């Protein structure tokens, strides 16, 4: 109870805002390389054995990587129920397409090698490409729409009305953000294959990774310029009460040009996020160019983390702005669960999160090393 009293409501809200960012980064970095490897599968692997090398490089770990997605969704549901309600209802079709791809992925992994027919296996290879490309693209498109504001409104009783459409999400800026997401995950996947594969597979992945790293730098920079020059941000114009009730309609907010860059001027340390995104992608480019496996993978992870965190740094304290009624926009200070709920969740997280991290680290340690073509060729029981 003493700790519960020391952790004020505003502190817990900030902690959970940061934890959601950590979970999103963890998912993008860990599941990102196997999504990227899936997108590279039809191109980096020319023969069946080469493609099996790619599949088996991610086969033992991809399921564990998706734990971060489950944790993120559960945390949003419990800590930010209004955010969960608006996003999962407004983006329902987009979420359905992503889930379809994620459900098809294990099917493709399991069924691909059930038959020796090359055409059968080639079809499943393209399914795995689809299952990597679609979640990457649509996730980026969703972020692009969040930065522009989502067309929802709240009634006086907090009833949610979403006035948008699925194809309305596919606007030019959002598609650009989707391409940034695709490029950075292909870059990350190529770094993983350079580390885990060898020979022709690693070399082809490296070449595609160089293109993807360069595209990440250029597209991310273009998105930043567009965000500054062509996308209006949101600002709160009323007094902010960090300890106030979770009712977005109690504040006033406006749409204002350049609002998404105020935090960078006010808190200079936040520039570390976009700088990390650009420097990480550049470091991955250098690592891939000189065939530095660890450097390429770690720098691509840094680039992904910086790009993801730059969205939160730009928008704070907004977490889901409304393009119809800015007053209904959800912020860190008015869209969370209760003080007690956030505290109990934090206590549970402090217990289980280190266990998950320790177990995941142990798994990667056990599975360290390159995937050998001969071992796969002679293995008929366990390899994909």
212-233 pLDDT, tens digit per residue, is 999 999 999 999 999 999 899 9
d(CA 260, CA 325): 18
d(CA 284, CA 292): 9
State the pairing for strand pair 318-320/160-162.
Answer: unpaired
What end-to-end distance do the CA atoms of the chain give, in Å?
A: 51
Q: What is the H or E stretch that residue 295 is in?
A: helix 293-315
Instruction: Using a pLDDT cut of 70, give the percent of the chain over it.
Output: 97
Please give the average per-residue pLDDT across 328-355, as a whole number. Answer: 92
**What pLDDT does 67 receive?**
87
d(CA 67, CA 359): 12
d(CA 258, CA 197): 45
Q: What is the DSSP letter of 249?
A: G
Judge whether residue 380 has pLDDT over 80. no
1 confidence band (pLDDT: 50, 70, 90): low
Judge whether residue 85 has pLDDT over 70. yes
- Domain ranges (residues) in the chain: 2-367
């Amino acid at each position: 109870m003493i700790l519960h009293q020391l952790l004020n409501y505003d502190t817990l809200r900030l902690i959970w805002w940061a934890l959601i960012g950590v979970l999103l980064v963890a998912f993008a970095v860990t599941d990102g390389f196997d999504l990227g490897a899936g997108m590279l599968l039809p191109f980096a692997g020319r023969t069946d054995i080469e493609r099996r090398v790619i599949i088996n490089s991610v086969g033992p770990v991809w399921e564990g990587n998706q734990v971060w997605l489950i944790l993120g969704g559960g945390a949003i549901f419990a800590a930010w129920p209004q955010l969960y309600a608006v996003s999962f209802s407004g983006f329902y079709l987009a979420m359905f397409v992503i889930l379809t791809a994620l459900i098809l992925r294990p099917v493709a992994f399991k069924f691909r090698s059930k038959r020796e027919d090359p055409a059968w296996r080639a079809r499943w290879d393209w399914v795995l490409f689809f299952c990597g490309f679609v979640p990457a693209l649509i996730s980026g498109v969703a972020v692009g729409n969040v930065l522009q504001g989502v067309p929802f409104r709240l009634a006086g009783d907090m009833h949610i009305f979403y006035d948008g459409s699925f194809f309305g999400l596919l606007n030019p800026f959002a598609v650009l953000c989707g391409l940034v997401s695709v490029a950075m995950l292909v870059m990350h996947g190529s770094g993983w294959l350079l580390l885990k594969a060898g020979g022709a597979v690693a070399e082809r992945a490296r070449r595609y990774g160089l293109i993807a790293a360069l595209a990440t730098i250029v597209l991310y920079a273009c998105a930043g310029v567009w965000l500054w020059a062509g996308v209006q941000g949101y600002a709160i114009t009323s007094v902010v009460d960090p300890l106030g009730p979770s009712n977005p309609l109690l504040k006033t907010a406006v749409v204002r040009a350049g609002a998404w860059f105020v935090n960078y001027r006010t808190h200079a340390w936040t520039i570390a996020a976009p700088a990390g995104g650009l420097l990480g992608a550049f470091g991955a480019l250098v690592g891939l160019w000189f065939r530095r496996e660890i450097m390429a993978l770690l720098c691509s992870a840094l680039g992904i983390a910086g790009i993801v965190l730059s969205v939160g740094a730009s928008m704070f304290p907004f977490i889901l702005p409304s393009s119809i009624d800015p007053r209904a926009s959800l912020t860190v200070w008015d869209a969370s669960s209760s003080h007690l709920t956030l505290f109990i969740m934090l206590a549970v997280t402090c217990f289980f999160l280190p266990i998950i991290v320790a177990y995941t680290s142990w798994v990667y340690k056990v599975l360290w090393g390159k995937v050998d073509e001969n071992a796969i060729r002679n293995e008929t029981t366990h390899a994909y």
